[in-house]
Chains A and B, each alone.
Chain A
């Protein structure tokens, strides 16, 4: 199975700062098969990005994704209060689908 490793585990930042989250795969993942999710406390995950760099419906443009092969990045250009949450990457290149362990973006 493809293992996704996210870093850092926790990111402590202030509103308005830039957040850069990493997702590394144990083997190559086609960009089309990589997604990012946001999960706020007590809520279900929400799709942010699909195909590594395409924003899902209703997602603001401060969110962007990039990467290819084994290295993918989610960037939040300027953190808003509602962006403090846990973020997961997911691959569906190969079965079973797998998620990274998550990166928590917390208020500094």
Chain B
């Protein structure tokens, strides 16, 4: 069965960086885009960007351009999201999710990774 399993919760200080992993199984990793979406406590969903695991091509939301980097390690079917220069308002649950093409609904999601930014 399709699974996206994310790394565990992180606590970071302002100004630091965080790297979250998303390990996939049950499908061909290179055939699906991986998106990253975050959700601040009690708030809605915010799209951050996607990576095409086959080509390595990425697209980022303008809000995160310059602070987020999406990468992948295809032999282990894992995608990564790194966010730098963390601020308190980056405290959120970060999800990975997949789509068959870039512009499609996300049909499987990871369980989410809580990133807390606090001094």
Contacts and interface: CB of A to CB of B under 8 A. Distances in A.
Given A50-B104, A92-B103, A92-B104, A99 B47 contact: yes
Interface of B: 35, 37, 44-47, 59, 61-63, 95, 97, 102-107, 109-112
B109 A44 contact: yes
Interface of A: 1, 33, 35, 37, 44-47, 49-50, 56-57, 88, 90, 92-93, 95-102
Given A35-B105, A44-B110, A102 B44 contact: yes
Nearest to A96: B61
B105 A88 contact: no
Nearest to A30: B103
Contacts of B63: 96
Contact of A44 (B44, B59, B61, B95): B95
